[in-house]
Amino acid sequence: MSEANSQQALVVAIDGPAGSGKSSVSKEVARRLGAAYLDTGAMYRAVTFAALESGLDLGDQEAIAEAVRQADIELSVTTEGQRVVVNGQEVSAQIREPRVSESVSAVATNLAVRENLVRRQRAAIEQAGRIVAEGRDTTTVVAPDADARILLTAREEVRMARRGLELNNTQSAQALAKQVSERDAKDSSVVNFTDAAEGVILVDSSDLDFEQTVQAVLATIHQQAGTVAS
Ligand SMILES: Nc1ncnc2c1ncn2[C@@H]1O[C@H](COP(=O)(O)OP(=O)(O)OP(=O)(O)O)[C@@H](O)[C@H]1O
Ligand SMILES: Nc1ccn([C@@H]2O[C@H](COP(=O)(O)O)[C@@H](O)[C@H]2O)c(=O)n1
């Protein structure tokens, strides 16, 4: 998790489907607010990577849950980007590989895993005080009492196109669908990140560029949290 400055406490929770811009937009919004940044998805990815490396059967619910309970996970944001370390191994790049993206839902739909990671995420938020936390369930489960809660979304074809661009258009339409739509379908069996819960404001970035999306999210945070967001 990145370091915050000493300004007033502020908790911002941002959810959304794959490729909606949660990570990139939240990271920039956190920077502009002088807040820490928590990428909850990186935690699910890190434990999935560790399970794959250990050769565990992802369908063995108890073995996976126990491996996650034992896992040491460190997140930080550096000038080069986010740094993720699991069980002492730096895995920042590896956790973005297609094999992790394609397996992560199997781990994230394990309810004992969710219980453990949600507990760690709440502790990280509590410790930071001023923070932007993003994921699939931060507005509803991890931080339902956050000062500002936003569901960041975009139309499916826009999200696929963005992910394609990010991967230099090297992936087939089928591979992109696996990383975006199929993953969303699996994840939605345990978390609702398509409908805004009560008190959560929807920001649709389909027709906004990156800077416009950051501005829209900042305006929504100011609207919800008022002066603590200044
Ligand atoms: N408003 C925007 N306009 C254009 N590109 C955007 C916008 N928002 C984000 N992007 C780009 O879209 C890509 C996907 O964004 P990002 O990785 O932040 O999404 P995400 O919601 O965190 O996805 P995932 O849940 O799959 O990790 C990135 O390359 C990002 O730079
Ligand atoms: N709060 C969260 C965050 C993530 N997940 C699971 O992790 C996967 C990767 O998340 P990204 O944000 O990096 O794409 C995601 O597909 C979910 O399976 C989660 O369950 N809850």
pLDDT digits (tens, 9 = 90+) for 31-77: 999 999 999 999 999 999 999 999 999 999 999 999 999 999 999 98
pLDDT at residue 203, rounded to an integer = 98
CA count, 13 A, side-chain hemisphere, 63: 12
Cα distances (angstroms) measured from residue 31 to each of 24, 92, 110, 175, 204? 11, 19, 32, 32, 21
Ligand 2 centroid distance, CA of 135 (Å): 6
Could you say which ligand is closest to the alpha carbon of residue 159? 1
Can you give the pTM of this predicted structure? 0.94
The continuous run of DSSP H or E covering 156 comes out as helix 156-166
State the average pLDDT over residues 210-228. 94
Pair 222, 230: CB distance under 8 Å: yes
- Does the annotation list 186 as a binding residue? no
ipTM of the complex: 0.97
pLDDT at residue 78, rounded to an integer = 76
- Does the annotation list 178 as a binding residue? no
E strands, the chain, are 10-15, 36-39, 73-78, 81-86, 89-90, 130-135, 148-153, 201-204
Q: Which amino acid, 71? A: A
**pLDDT higher than 80, residue 1:** no
Name the DSSP letter for residue 104: H
**pLDDT higher than 80, residue 6:** no
CA angle 212, 214, 217 (to 5 degrees): 110
Q: Which protein residue has the closest C-alpha to ligand 2 atom 7? A: 41
Say how far apart CA 199 and CA 215 lie, in whole Å.
Answer: 20
Could you say which ligand is closest to the alpha carbon of residue 25? 1
* Ordered structural domains, the chain, with CATH: 10-224 (3.40.50.300)
State the average pLDDT over residues 89-112. 95
